[in-house]
Chains A and B, each alone.
Chain A
Amino acid sequence: MSTATPPPVSGAVADVAIGEAAREDALPTKRRRGSAAGNAARSVTSPWASVIAIVMALAWTTPTFGLLVTSFRKQGDIQATGWWQALSTPFTLSNYSAVLSGAEGQPPLTDFIVNSFVIAIPAVMLPLFLASLAAYAFAWIDFPFRNLLFVAVFALQIVPLQIALLPLVTMFQNIGIGGTYWSLWLSHSAFALPLAVFLLHNFMKEIPASLLEAARVDGAGHVRIFFQVLLPLITPALASFGIFQFLWVWNDLLVAITMLGGNAGNGSNAPLTMVLNNISGTLGNRWYLLSAAAFISIAVPVAVFLSLQRYFVRGLLAGGTKG
């Protein structure tokens, strides 16, 4: 990808994206001449186009905004008036302190924020470790049945995690790690591996073979090439998949709820989503607590997303299916 020509359209998104990802600033593509869609929008219905776009943007942000405003309102106000009437009533931070320190028989959320991090970080690192090794081998080491195995790993992406979940729970219980962080780390890693191998393999293949040959001539083995040549080059890909996996694990409910046994109250290893799900059931319509709890759980992924948006979107474009 040395030229600035746009990647061909004919390929799948994966092809386009991989090509794009090889360039540093692929996503915010700037062009002088108009694109097809831009022309279409402008020449027919320019004012209408803007109106529709604004209506859509409003429809997509208003629900979140409404809950955000609610989370800063007093309990009585929330029940009496809609959040759009909030300006006439005072704001408060007490909902957040109530939820964080534990109110109305709820365990304090701070514990579960920690849990979510403890679950997410190794569940990101382990598949990254393993997948980068495997992807390297699939891309650059010649061994028997290489293509067959790679296709098999690729095909495993379509296996819904539901189909492996129950036996995994009992397997973990049998070896004595049922309900622990280990069960979550290992299952998240297993479910992430096929996609991770596939994505990283594609990125590794992009690296010119001449680089590797040069390293080999200098007497470097695969381990050294992997560390000193490949790993620095695919750091953006690792970051991209890392963020992807982090958001996935942080937002996961199904794996946590099955591995830890459904009840967040006694499972001291429960992540935030699980508690949120429980609160949503038990607190019913107590929106002053619900809204604050929801925003605490949303804050981390949204912060990660906003600060690392470029990498995340790139990962999204390169991949597709997950789970």
Chain B
Amino acid sequence: MVLGLAVFAVVFVGILLFASLFKGRVGEKVQAVAFVGPTLLFISIALIYPAILTIRRAFYDGKFFDLNFGSVRSRGKFVGLENFQLLWTTPGLPDVFRNTVFWVVLVPFLATAFGLLYATLIDRARGEAVAKALIFLPMAISMVGATLIWKFVYFYNGDPGSNQTGLLNAIITKLGMDPVDFVGNAPGNTFALIAIMIWIQAGFAMTVLSAAIKAIPDEIIEAAKLDGVSGVKMFRFVTLPSIRSSVIVVLTTIAIATLKAFDIVQASSGGKLGDSVLANEFYNRSFVTQQPGLGAAIAIVIFLLVMPIIVFNVIQFRKDA
């Protein structure tokens, strides 16, 4: 680590010294290159170039470890759109798409709804900071850690007669019902995992929306009050329209994060129990089952799914501006 930091520091100082050598109008240009250049170079080599290779990869056959992405030789057989066709014909993959749809629809809306509800309820309440921290804390926990926490809540003791040590099953059996294997069986396990993501993301929604609510000008509220608006109507006709753009930002941000999240499924079952999602399947296909072409195709699909969300977001901003 020390070595790494030292190398980075030397490069950093070197750039600055180099840049400061030049003066005047030419110097201005050189300095701009010295300041922006490393970042652009870095991004091009480590982000854009690999992305282009991945796109190309999606049209080729072959295994992962006998392939050389960078060179022309041994890049596998050109198979056209076969990998994209596999997305629909491979057993299990259509289920992955279905699960992903559930994730991307349910997580943003429910997390935002919970966040908004909570932000509204605790606004200006006593102990607001503590109340916020409680909900926000799951954000700091890794998804792997969060999954473990919830695995314990979902814990299922196969023997219905004996004691259930998982919280949910303990409650269920107390109510006289049979215990449920929450994470074991499709399609129910997808919803159990979705609950974990909602648990993580609600804090984010709450924080942003709470800030937006506090930013509503007092005058608007006073005016509405004079008109006799209060309670739920106030929320529906004053608060909600005022924070509309923030709600959209939160929804899209969580949707994108959800689309790319792979840790929860990975830490739960690795996606083997019919609960896989696209991001997890990308990992499985690329590394576990050694179908990098299919993995690349899935990565492209994720990218294509992210795009409309972003475009929608940008259009909304234009409207507001």
Contacts and interface: CB of A to CB of B under 8 A. Distances in A.
A83 B208 CA distance: 34
A121 B5 contact: yes
Interface string A119-158: 0011001100111011011100111000001000100101
Contacts of B199: 60, 63
Interface string B45-85: 11111110111010000001001111000000000000000
A118 B1 contact: yes
B295 interface: yes
A40 B120 contact: yes
Contacts of A11: 245, 320-321
Given A121-B5, A163-B299, A316 B53 contact: no
B86 interface: no
Nearest to A248: B142
B140 A247 contact: yes
Nearest to B64: A166
A170 B63 CA distance: 13
A67 interface: yes
Contact of B317 (A12, A141, A252): A12
A103 B256 CA distance: 39
Contacts of B133: 306, 309
A211 interface: no
A113 interface: no
Contacts of A28: 129
Interface in B256-294: 256-257, 259-260, 262-263, 266-267, 270, 279, 282-283, 286-288, 292
- Of B121, B150, B279, B282, most buried by chain A (CB within 10 Å of CB) is B121
B217 interface: yes
Interface string B153-171: 1010000000111110010
Nearest to A29: B214
A270 interface: no
B306 A160 contact: yes
A308 B3 CA distance: 28
Contact of A39 (B33, B70, B149, B230): B230
Contact of B249 (A12, A158, A254): A12
Given A133-B39, A298-B141, A35 B19 contact: no
- Range class of the A interface residue count: 35 or more
A212 interface: no
A294 B35 contact: no
B121 A34 contact: no
A9 B239 CA distance: 11
B140 A304 contact: yes
Contact of A193 (B15, B39, B50, B203): B39
A267 interface: no
Contact of A323 (B1, B123, B260, B283): B260
- Of B1, B69, B266, B283, most buried by chain A (CB within 10 Å of CB) is B1
A39 B218 CA distance: 12
Interface of A: 6-14, 16-17, 20, 27-29, 31, 33-41, 43-45, 49-50, 52-53, 56-57, 60-64, 66-67, 70, 78-84, 117-118, 121-122, 125-126, 129-131, 133-134, 136-138, 141-143, 149, 153, 156, 158-168, 170-171, 174, 181-182, 185-187, 189-191, 193-194, 197, 221-224, 226-227, 247, 250-254, 257-258, 262, 273, 276-277, 280-281, 285, 287, 290-291, 294, 297-298, 301-302, 304-306, 309, 313, 316-317, 320-323
20 contacts: A9-B215, A11-B321, A13-B212, A28-B129, A53-B121, A56-B114, A82-B163, A122-B5, A130-B38, A131-B39, A134-B40, A142-B32, A158-B310, A161-B260, A166-B53, A167-B69, A222-B31, A251-B144, A280-B151, A321-B253
The 4 closest A-B CB pairs, nearest first, are A190-B46, A251-B142, A137-B35, A167-B50
